[in-house]
Amino acid sequence: MSTIPSTGTVTFTIKSVPLTKGGFRTIERLMRLEKGKQRTLKKLQGKRMTELNEWRPRAGREWLVRARCTRLVRVAAGQSFTIPVTPQLSKDIASVADYLDFKPVK
């Protein structure tokens, strides 16, 4: 297998789902770096802040009940995502490289 480039835009495809919780969460974190997913997460964050958080009475005063963050990405075999690779991401990508196929975008 060739080496993953340290810079540039790369498309990753998940070959198999990691069995460890850390590997699973690392791939989830990498998938959330995709521009379209970041845009959607930012919009959902604004909606949570303005509409979905609720004030409820608790112990005679108002209490803020925060809405949970949306799980936007799904780690499954065959899923693909395209992210700009930076040197800061190299260790994360290397730790889950066994579970990913990659192809540089030209």
53-85: per-residue pLDDT in tens?
999 999 999 999 999 988 999 999 999 999 999
Rounded to whole angstroms, the maximal C-alpha distance in the chain is: 63
Mean of the per-residue pLDDT values of the chain = 94
Mean pLDDT, residues 20-41 = 97
Distant-in-sequence, close-in-space partners of 77: CB < 8 Å, separation ≥ 6: 14, 15, 16, 17
HSE of 30 in the Cβ direction (CA atoms, 13 Å)?
A: 33
Q: Give pLDDT tens digits for 37-56.
A: 999 999 999 999 999 999 99
Cα–Cα nearest to 98, from 15, 9, 4, 35: 15
Confidence tier at 7 by pLDDT (50, 70, 90): confident
List all residues 6 or more positions away from 37 whose beta carbon is below 8 Å from its beta carbon.
Answer: 31, 72, 73, 81
The candidate with the shortest Cα–Cα distance to 12, out of 35, 40, 42, 34, is 34
Q: Where are the domains of the chain?
A: 8-104
Q: What are phi and psi of 104, to 5 degrees?
A: -65, 140
